[in-house]
Chain A
């Protein structure tokens, strides 16, 4: 088979993923390290299955970073982002400027001229969004103070790349090696006067915000109405790809544009659906990206100049961590949080690849330096999981003040409601209206886009999507909620949901709607304690009114109903326990036998007629005996 065929390539990458990632996780090393190892192994210097095309793949897979920022944006409502402005600007500026200055100074000492030193400092001050976010998420630190601070810094770096891209052509000291060819690598607006460039850049940002508000959400509504999942997925991808194309066109970072679009859409009812659609693509692409990074580690170069490479790597990680530690202290991070924060961001990121090749094109840095730089960057990235692991295993236990992820930050991510109601049909909306009337804030999930649309207009917090999916529940705040009401129509989906919730969110109190007794049995056997049969309360109320029309006192009828309901529920529990499907041949037979059992139990019910407190018979008897 042709080793360069697409399918074969895909086979190799997927195979490496499937083998190495679970292995790394089993060893407690985290998935990122697994991907990197996989890349090294299939890369040109070990097995050699992947050759030069690894570089192309890296450019392609960088799109995973764009998707990741889109997803992060979806998690952040504009208000929350605004609340982070101090951290973004303060921590971000501090990190980029101080790191760049220190690294640049060291480069000067190492014999670079000032332009080269500045370029190197700027390139190496950046960190890897992909590796940091993935690692923090995996460890569950994303919402801790360290995670939030790291995110703020990464976000600022994304913004900082834009002026850097503009600055590099001005730093050229040598003639460009590929003067004509390099031009098209930049955006089509590069030839325009600076004022026009600025206008176009601003216009595209405003355009993205406006489109998110005015075009994308209504369009998603239309697409969702078709009820075809794959079309919705295609549309979600279309949004992200479209933004990337636009942003690259005007010379902005596509990741930043995607992040912005994500923030704009964070309030949309389709947020969760978008999240769950993009998530797998993001995961795979990021995985490929990490593999590509692993494959690009240039071992011959390291072998040639081991001293230089090792010095650079060690110095870089040391300088960046120390700067970050200092900043963390200034911004009052706890010691443990500060350690997580600084060990996470100590590497150089994927933007370095872009900037380094730009520096080469523009003649800022000589080819040999760029080669060395890229090797060093790849190694720092590959080392990140190890640095974090070292921090986690050896440093954190000594600090001893490890705090649980603070709830304050969790709250800031999005206002979580204590109740989630899945299904907003006739059943769910009654529950929802009742709770709303009593000022209980709830998050609603529904699969019908028209319902979602109408309810959102009414001011309900409703999201579109299949509520039995783990990722949607997660996104709806199932981790922070206390109660989940399962009111969806399909009984299969309800059972699916019960399993999902029990498995992933065992802390949730589950209240579930049941169509009938059989459904209730299944749910009870699935461990449900709060099962609500659709028909039973209504049927009993009808029975009560029948009794009243026949002349029975209202209060007596009411009490009988309560007694009957209690008896019936107990009965249900018993029958659920002894039920054996194999004994029943047909549904009809099952129903009749069931009725027989129920009626028998009704006859022997000891709770009937027990109003002895009000019963005067005993008193009368006693009174008569006394008077004799």
Chain B
């Protein structure tokens, strides 16, 4: 059974309804480690050995964060800069992460329609996620499409909670291995594998 590591980065979680719900959904699941970066390293003093050790002990790595300015919050970037060392995560002898799966779980203010050619943001979310994708590929991991919660600013409480349920369902399915990788890689986003009204995956 694959073990899942959620690298969570949010500087003001107390102000984000959506992220609180997502985090609550993931917390307490067996074989799922929720790793709250801002809570652990409020002064940005990342413990690199500990982080690398955590990575090696998990199979699926999730970067969960709000999509600030088309990217992640500062601490997650710092985490990438420091933890994904040359010779460990990439480079000729950097094979520590080989074969692991990586994807982003993000929340954005703008809607799905905004992220397309001709839309407000002009490009798709996958295009904006290219830095993450290349990072994952350089580290010899497989980059999966994101679990993406768009339009969070207009969301009603009910909708928010439904996303929490979907996230829980996704994590359950990944743990059980009930999703086939070819299908995952073909999908534009991981949202598609779980519907609003289902608590179990398709």
Contact = CB atoms under 8 A, between A and B. Distances in A.
A537 to B, nearest CB: 13
B38 A554 contact: yes
Interface in B3-21: 11-16
Given A619-B109, A623-B153, A627-B154, A611 B39 contact: no
A493 to B, nearest CB: 34
B109 A623 contact: yes
Interface stretch (A144-152, A215-223, A403-411, A555-563): A555-563
A554 B153 contact: no
Contact of A557 (B15, B42, B68, B151): B42
Nearest to A552: B14
B13 A553 contact: yes
B42 A623 contact: no
A557 B154 CA distance: 29
Contacts of B185: none
A553 B153 contact: no
Contacts, number: 47
B16 A553 contact: no
B187 interface: no
A619 B39 contact: no
B153 A611 contact: no
A623 B68 CA distance: 16
B155 to A, nearest CB: 9
Given A619-B109, A623-B109, A624-B154, A554 B11 contact: no
Nearest to A562: B43
Interface in A94-142: none
Contacts of B151: 623
A21 B42 CA distance: 65
B15 A555 contact: no
B115 to A, nearest CB: 15
Q: Pick the most buried of A614, A615, A619, A624: most chain B CB atoms within 10 A of its CB.
A: A614
A619 B17 CA distance: 14
Contacts of A555: 11, 38-39, 42, 75
Contacts of A550: none
A603 interface: no
A351 B153 CA distance: 96
Contacts of A554: 38-40, 42
Which of A555, A615, A623 has the most chain B CB atoms inside 10 A of its CB? A555
A620 B153 contact: yes
A616 interface: yes
B46 to A, nearest CB: 13
Nearest to B75: A555
A321 B152 CA distance: 92
A553 B39 contact: yes
Interface string A412-433: 0000000000000000000000
A556 B10 CA distance: 10
Interface in B147-197: 151-154
Nearest to A621: B153
B28 to A, nearest CB: 17
Contact of B12 (A556, A622, A623, A627): A556
Secondary structure at the A interface, as helix, strand, loop or mixed, is helix
A556 B14 contact: yes
B45 to A, nearest CB: 11
Nearest to B43: A558
Nearest to A544: B42
Given A555-B11, A556-B14, A616 B153 contact: yes
Given A557-B42, A558-B42, A615 B15 contact: yes
B153 A619 contact: yes
Interface string A606-628: 00000100111001101110010
Contact of A614 (B11, B39, B154): B11
B185 to A, nearest CB: 33
Interface string A531-573: 0000000000000000000000111111100000000000000
A150 B93 CA distance: 64
A614 B12 contact: yes
B42 A611 contact: no
Given A623-B153, A623-B154, A624-B154, A614 B38 contact: no
A615 B153 CA distance: 11
B13, B39, B75: residue with the most chain A Cβ atoms closer than 10 Å: B39
A105 to B, nearest CB: 79
B154 to A, nearest CB: 5
Given A614-B15, A615-B15, A553 B154 contact: no
Contacts of A556: 11-12, 14
A554 B43 CA distance: 9
B13 A616 contact: no
A620 B75 CA distance: 24
Contacts of B13: 553
A622 B110 CA distance: 12
Contacts of B153: 616, 619-620, 622-624
Given A619-B153, A623-B153, A627-B154, A611 B38 contact: no
Interface string A6-27: 0000000000000000000000
Nearest to B111: A623
Contacts of B15: 611, 614-616
Contacts of B152: 616
A627 B16 CA distance: 20
B95 to A, nearest CB: 33
Interface string B31-49: 0000000111011000000
Contacts of A620: 153-154
Contacts of B154: 620, 623-624, 627
A616 B19 CA distance: 13
Contacts of B109: 616, 619, 623
Given A558-B42, A559-B42, 12 more contacts: A553-B38, A554-B39, A554-B40, A554-B42, A556-B11, A556-B14, A611-B11, A614-B11, A614-B68, A615-B15, A616-B152, A623-B154
The 3 closest A-B pairs by CB, nearest first: A558-B42, A623-B153, A554-B42
30 contacts: A553-B12, A553-B13, A553-B14, A553-B38, A553-B39, A554-B38, A554-B39, A555-B38, A555-B39, A557-B42, A559-B42, A611-B11, A614-B12, A614-B15, A614-B68, A615-B15, A616-B16, A616-B109, A616-B152, A616-B153, A619-B109, A620-B154, A622-B153, A623-B109, A623-B151, A623-B153, A623-B154, A624-B153, A624-B154, A627-B154
Interface of A: 553-559, 611, 614-616, 619-620, 622-624, 627
Interface of B: 11-16, 38-40, 42-43, 68, 75, 109, 151-154
